[in-house]
Amino acid sequence: MAMTKNKVTGVGALVVGVLYFFATMNVRTAAVSDPIGPRFFPYILAVCMIFVGLLLVLKKEEVTEKNRAVLFAWPADKEVLARIVYTCVAGFGFGLILDSLGYLISSVLFMTAMMFITYGPGRSFLNISVGLIFGVSTYVVFFELLQVSLPRGILAF
Amino acid sequence: MESILSNLLLGFQNALSLTNLLWVTIGSFLGTLFGMLPGIGPATGIAILIPLSYGMDPTTALITMCAIYYGAMFGGSIASIMINTPGDASAIVTCWDGYRMAQKGFAGKALATSAIASFVGGMIACVMVVLLAQAAASVALKFGPAEMFALVLFAMTAVVTLAEGKLLRGAVALLIGVMISTIGIDGQSGVFRFTMGIDILQDGIEFLVAIIGCYAIAEVFNGYSELNVVHEIDVKKIGRVMISKEDWKQIWLPIVRSTPVAFFLGCLPGVGGSMTSLIAYTTERQFSKNPEDWGHGDIVGIAAPEAANNASSTASIIPMLAIGIPSSGTTAVMLGALMMLGVQPGPMLFEMRPDVAWGVIASMFIGNIVLVFMNMPMVPYIAKLLALPQKLLIPIIVCLAFMGTYMMNYSTFDFYLLVLFGCLGYVMQKLDIPIPPMVLALILGDTMEKTLRQALVATDGSPAVFLDKPIALVFFALAALSIVYSLYQNRKVERKRKAASLETA
Amino acid sequence: MNKLEFAGIALLSAAAVFSTGACAQEWQPDSTIEIIAPANPGGGWDLTARAIQRTLTEGKLVKKNVIVSNKPGGGGATGWTYLKGKEKNGNFLAANSSLLLLNNLLGSSPLSYKDFTPLAMLTTDWIGIAVKADAPYKSGIELLEALKKNPGALTIGVGPAMGNNDHLSFIQIARKFGVDTSKLKWVVYEGAGGDILMSLLGGHIGIATVSVPEMLTQHKAGKVRILGITSDKRMELLPDVPTWKEQGIDIVFPHWRGIQLPPGMTPAQIAYWDKVMAEVARSESFKKTIESLNGQVYYKNSAEFTKFLEEQTAILGPLTVELGLVKK
């Protein structure tokens, strides 16, 4: 069975459908509720998902020369995947430090990190300065001018 | 008719004071600026600027808020076109053709179309407000849970028609969207669903976070594979803001067609720019002579939804003014701000303070005009921003996306969701699963389940409740037609594709 | 005792007197004051917090800057959790309401009023039960009679969730009259209060139990009829609407909003804020702002407020368990 996009999606759909079905079974029912209840709708969704997943997996497809596009493939360039992973890590990191370090510091760090991802480690000066400029200017505009509440973190102001 | 005109003139007199005009301009500008930030829509914009309104006269305050509202909508469109990130839910549809057009180098034209379509749609809607304010309000009342369910069902089936040729994968996307929308507290029973022990998920997943993740972040991931490719961007072409005569011929009718429908839908509580722009898009696509071009930068694909969402946002102010009941988050904020200023919107508003009521309506006209004249000259400069190197744009976009997300709910948990949805969006693109059905299902799924259950309470769960509701039945029929049509279209496209691959084999 | 020793003792005593004097010195906020509204802008908590901010700033009642920060989520939990983390820091306050009690009683949140220092109750709304103007029920008693005969006769709109004030007060009133509340048909509206009103006006639900400010304009315009309100005496704004007490059902149910401090406050800090809040409650501008929102100023200081919370917990706790609303 070739790894076509349809098949991969189908398998994914089956997995999601089954998981969702089991999760729905764990949903509590309340004493005071409407006649349908909280599980009815999710059950229908799960069944539909499984049904669609089956249709996709069992669909007849021929992979011809012209048809290559239906095959599923990751991007060949490892560097692209690396960049994606770094971005995810940076995003998570931003979330972790924002409340404790405050907006100003976190945003400068995050912006700098992003710049490093796109421009690469060779241009440290550019990366850091853009990070600083961006962080400080957005801070000034939003916090001072517009009184939007941003976390202060460890800074006194 | 005469009294309407004289009231309107009174309104214009009120609105056209120098202070008011100044504030309209400031409001439009600030609104546009905020609207451009991913995730910050009119509601947040107005909320941030409430403190400014403390000292103001109520008419001025309301005028400023309207200006911010319109400005934010235009700002949202700018973001959709430039960076494929809707500023708020009503700008999602603009992404589809707007961004593609910008990618082809016609950012200026896309922006101009958006501005002009919004303007025309907004003006027509304003006229309709003047003539129909009271009547429209009473139509809105006819929509109870049963009718809303039927309407949303129709919108969902309209979404499916967009997944031509990949109906099954489109269905998967749709189902994922609805499943995600079920996460959180179930309103009707108070039970938690699928929260996996994480407290923050009690409120569910904010659809805007999912959208920014799937569109902006995923697009950034895509961009990583082309980071070192230098794009030949004709800077002059981007900045060209003119709409040619042929363009205008193409778009004027769709605009005029989409506006009235969007207007009426906009009066309904809970119907926002996202639904109306979607319905306008899918409807006009079926009228179009070249539906295959849609999704790839067709100009009508920008004009129709833009006109629709301006029309519906103009209309949504009506229930707030005329009945005193807000029909959306934004109008709720406006209502609160007005009440703090001592104005009591509602049926009595038109009688007791016609100066405020008509002043608002007049200011909607003015706001619309100011927006176009102020923003059009800015368009070439905004468009030229695209000429910045990708390597610089990407960090800026990502940071703005995160910031905008934070300002929605002040929750860092949303950052994790952003990353997750970014990955999901990327994977979906690689699998050629269409994203629009998922996104729209996310927005509408919640409402769909809610209204169904609300409608069924009266009859203890029996579907018979729909039998004596003509409006609901009409929408059910439309939904059925929609499904039949999309199955037929899907068959056609698949057959074409097979023929093409066999032909040259 | 020689002169030197006397001088030494005098000096020591003076020092002692001065230092105790310094301890008894009043506490003042030492940095920007942050009032947390645990909800999105435009909602009840947000408007209350902003009203307080406005009064403090315009009346120059405090020396530092006052800002309002929005921390929506979890029915207040996000904002309150944030406040809890500011233990011993008297520069932070948060708006609260009976939701603090109810979330805890219903099992949705581990936070209770005991995790904070209740500071003051400031405003209250009352809750009304209304029908459409053309409905055949002219009085609250008539409506309750109909429900007693057939509890499922009319659908009742409530929001944003079951187990809130509007819901519980309705049940208390209905029960007092002898209605079998387990058979009532509830339709839950999660959005802004406007949805319930629109549904009522459109005839899609039969009854609405909603706070009075949200129904005021409609009642005055003659579109809905409020049959009873949960206050102890008639409201000035609604002279023609009887209270439930008047109609023979002795239920008084305030929909109150107040303000609280983080845990671990010293007596000096509480004393300071008690003084300031009392001034806020007395001020004309606060009264005007609250009344423009159709609310009523209703003040209890921190000691009275704490006692009130204890009493309310004792009443509402068993009720929620009995109604089967408690999540396990």
pLDDT tens per residue, range C161-174:
788 889 999 998 99
β C92-97/C66-70 pair status: unpaired
Read off the pLDDT of each residue in C208-235 and give the average, rounded to a whole number. 88
Instruction: Kindly determine whether residue B333 and residue C47, on different chains, have CB atoms separated by under 8 Å.
Output: no
With b for 16 or more beta-carbon neighbours within 10 A and e for fewer, the B295-316 pattern comes to bebbbbbbbbbbbbbbbbbbbb
Q: How far apart are CA B441 and CA B414, in angstroms?
A: 19
Residue C227 has pLDDT above 90, yes or no: yes
Task: Name the residue with higher pLDDT: C39 or A18.
Answer: A18
Report chain B residues whose CB lies below 8 A from the CB of A73. 430
The counts of H helices and E strands in chain C are 11, 10
Give me the tens of pLDDT residue by residue for chain B, a chain 505 residues long.
556 677 777 777 766 777 777 887 888 877 887 777 776 667 666 766 666 666 677 777 777 877 888 888 888 888 888 878 777 778 888 888 888 888 887 888 888 888 888 888 888 888 888 788 767 767 777 888 888 888 888 888 877 777 766 788 888 999 999 999 999 888 777 788 888 777 778 778 877 788 788 877 887 888 787 766 655 555 555 566 667 777 888 888 888 888 888 888 888 776 777 888 888 888 888 787 777 777 778 888 889 999 998 888 888 877 777 777 766 667 776 776 677 666 777 766 766 677 777 777 777 787 778 777 777 777 667 666 666 777 787 888 888 888 878 877 777 888 899 899 999 988 888 888 888 788 778 878 888 888 888 888 878 777 888 888 888 899 899 889 888 887 887 777 777 777 776 665 4
Confidence at residue B52, expressed as pLDDT on a 0 to 100 scale: 65
Residues from chain C that touch B336, judged by Cβ atoms under 8 A, are 41-43, 46-47, 293
Q: Could you give the CA distance from residue B11 to residue B14 in angstroms, rounded to a whole number?
A: 5
Q: Which residue ranges make up each domain of chain B?
A: 2-503
Measured between beta carbons, the chain B residues lying within 8 angstroms of C201 are: 141, 323
Range A120-135 average pLDDT: 84
Q: Which residues of C45-81 are buried (b: 16+ CB within 10 A; e: fewer)?
A: bbbbbbbbbbbbbeeebbeeebbbbbbbbbbbbbbbb
Which are the contacts of A24, defined by CB distance < 8 A and separation ≥ 6?
A: A39, A42, A43, A46, B193
* Confidence category of residue A126, pLDDT binned at 50, 70, 90: confident
Distances from the Cα of C124 to the Cα of C52, C203, C281, angstroms = 14, 29, 12
pLDDT at B297: 80
Q: How distant is the Cα of B315 from the closest Cα of chain C, in angstroms?
A: 16
Contacts of C327 in chain A (CB under 8 A): 28, 30
Nearest to A148 among B48, B193, B461 (CB): B48
- The pLDDT value recorded for residue A14 is 92
To the nearest whole angstrom, how far is the Cα of A62 from the nearest Cα of chain B?
10
The reply to whether residue A56 touches residue B504, judged by beta carbons under 8 angstroms, is no
Nearest to B347 by CA among C133, C126, C231, C140: C133
Q: Report all structural domains of chain C as residue ranges with CATH numbers, in order of start.
A: 33-124+255-322 (3.40.190.150), 126-229 (3.40.190.10)
Beta pairing class for C33-37 and C92-97: parallel
pLDDT (0 to 100) of residue C270:
92
Instruction: Answer whether B423 sits within 8 Å of A117, measured CB to CB.
Output: no
Q: How far is C271 from chain B (nearest CA, A)?
A: 29
Q: Which amino acid is at A49?
A: M
- In terms of phi and psi (left: phi > 0; alpha: psi -120 to 50; beta: otherwise), the region of C158 is beta
Tokens of B431: 């699998």
Q: Taking CB atoms and an 8 Å limit, are C327 and B344 in contact across chains?
A: no
Q: Give the minimum alpha-carbon distance from B416 to chain A in angstroms, rounded to a whole number.
A: 6
pLDDT at B231: 56
Q: Does A26 touch chain C (CB under 8 A)?
A: no
B187 contacts C217? CB cut-off 8 A: no
Which residues neighbour C3 within 8 Å (Cβ) at sequence distance 6 or greater?
A: none
ipTM rounded to 2 decimals = 0.86
Q: How confident is the model at residue C206 (pLDDT cuts 50, 70, 90)?
A: very high
Average pLDDT over residues C198-211: 89
In this complex, is the C-beta atom of A28 within 8 Å of any C-beta atom belonging to chain C? yes
Query: Taking CA atoms, what residue in A is nearest to B461?
Result: A35
A–C: how many Cβ contacts below 8 A? Answer: 23
pLDDT over threshold 50, residue C115: yes
Chain C touched by A1 (CB under 8 Å): no
Q: What is the pLDDT of residue B399?
A: 84
Chains that touch A (3 or more CB pairs under 8 A): B, C
- The Cα B487–Cα B170 span in angstroms is 12
Hey, is the C-beta of A60 within 8 angstroms of any chain C C-beta?
A: no
Q: Is the pLDDT of residue C60 over 90?
A: no
Residues in chain A with CB shorter than 8 Å from the CB of B398 are 87, 91, 114
- As beta bridge partners, residue C259 has C95, C120
Residues in chain B with CB shorter than 8 Å from the CB of A87 are 217, 220-221, 398, 419, 422
Angle between helices B470-503 and B145-160 (to 10 degrees): 10
| Closest CA of chain A from C325, distance in Å | 7
DSSP run (H or E) holding C228:
strand C224-229
* Residue A17 pLDDT greater than 90, yes or no: yes
Ranked by mean pLDDT, the top range of B284-298, C17-31, C78-92, C263-277 is C263-277
DSSP-derived letter for residue B320 is: I
pLDDT digits (tens, 9 = 90+) for C253-304: 888 999 999 999 999 999 999 999 999 999 998 998 888 777 888 899 999 9
Read off the pLDDT of residues A68-124 as tens digits, 9 standing for 90 and up: 455 556 666 777 888 888 889 988 888 888 877 878 888 888 888 888 888 878 788
User: What is the amino acid identity at position B55?
Assistant: G
Interchain proximity B458–C78, CB inside 8 Å: no
Please say whether the beta carbons of C38 and C45 come within 8 A. yes
The mean pLDDT of C19-35, rounded to a whole number, is: 69
How close C41 gets to chain A, by Cα (Å)? 12
C67–A34 CB contact, under 8 Å:
no
Does the beta-carbon distance from B347 to C108 stay under 8 Å? no
Give the model's pLDDT for residue C23.
Answer: 45
Which tokens hold the place of C319?
A: 């009720």
Are B220 and B418 in contact by the 8 Å Cβ rule? The answer is: no
Contact between chains at A34 and C70 (C-beta distance less than 8 A): no
Helices (H), B268-389: 273-287, 300-318, 329-340, 349-352, 354-384
Strand C185-188 and strand C224-229: the pairing is: unpaired
Cβ–Cβ of A130/B392 closer than 8 Å?
yes
